[in-house]
Structure 1
């Protein structure tokens, strides 16, 4: 399955931050976790992941340190920071609102009233 570029871009930050709440990982382990969580349907490339990780470092959402992979290779391990946890919590709330609205449209053919959720 091919995913729309905009959908991948919008979901990448919360997905990576969420994965890092499970523990420190190197880039290829993050790629593997994305594939695992999506049942193999999302196949990110390192060319997509590493620029994202560098951006998350600039925002102080993650830190990196050199370590060794499972196969003994030197690699960078990424960890989520307190600021990253705050950003993830905010995005979780945003995605919950989006998911609820989509679910309502797709299942019921209607959008929930904005006033019921304090949006209006």
Structure 2
């Protein structure tokens, strides 16, 4: 399940501005349930780029080699908006079954 929402967490981080891979790993890992590694993020970023949800550009780094920065594309913004609209309904549905008798009948 975490894998299914991780890409949308990445898109949400990019909504706030361009970031590079290690920066994304660090920000995601600041939330216990989303701790991840470069080995997970870089393939995910490659897939998001192939799907044209993000675009990348190389930029010089003030400390070290150039970094590949990712930013949201228009398609990425649309995908994130659609997920955000559905997420509340999904979360509420799961919460219903986890915190009540759900569909259980007396």
TM-score, structure 2 length as denominator? 0.86
* Secondary structure of the structure 2 residue equivalent to 1:73: coil
Kindly indicate whether residue 59 of structure 2 is the aligned counterpart of residue 67 of structure 1. yes
Kindly indicate whether residue 28 of structure 2 is the aligned counterpart of residue 20 of structure 1. no
Kindly indicate whether residue 84 of structure 2 is the aligned counterpart of residue 92 of structure 1. yes
Point out where structure 1 has 5 or more consecutive residues left out of the alignment: 1-6, 112-120
Q: Kindly tell me the number of residue pairs found equivalent between the two proteins.
A: 103
Whether contact under 8 Å (2:21, 2:41) holds in the other structure is yes
Change (3 A) 1:79 1:71: same
Higher relative contact order (Cα pairs below 8 Å, separated by 6+ residues): 2
* Secondary structure of the structure 1 residue equivalent to 2:94: helix
Give the CA RMSD over aligned residues. Answer: 1.7
Moved over 4 A (4+): none
Whether contact under 8 Å (1:24, 1:78) holds in the other structure is yes
Q: CA deviation at 1:107?
A: 2.2
Hey, what does 2:23 align to over in structure 1? 29
Hey, what does 2:71 align to over in structure 1? 79
Point out where structure 2 has 5 or more consecutive residues left out of the alignment: none
Whether contact under 8 Å (2:6, 2:34) holds in the other structure is no
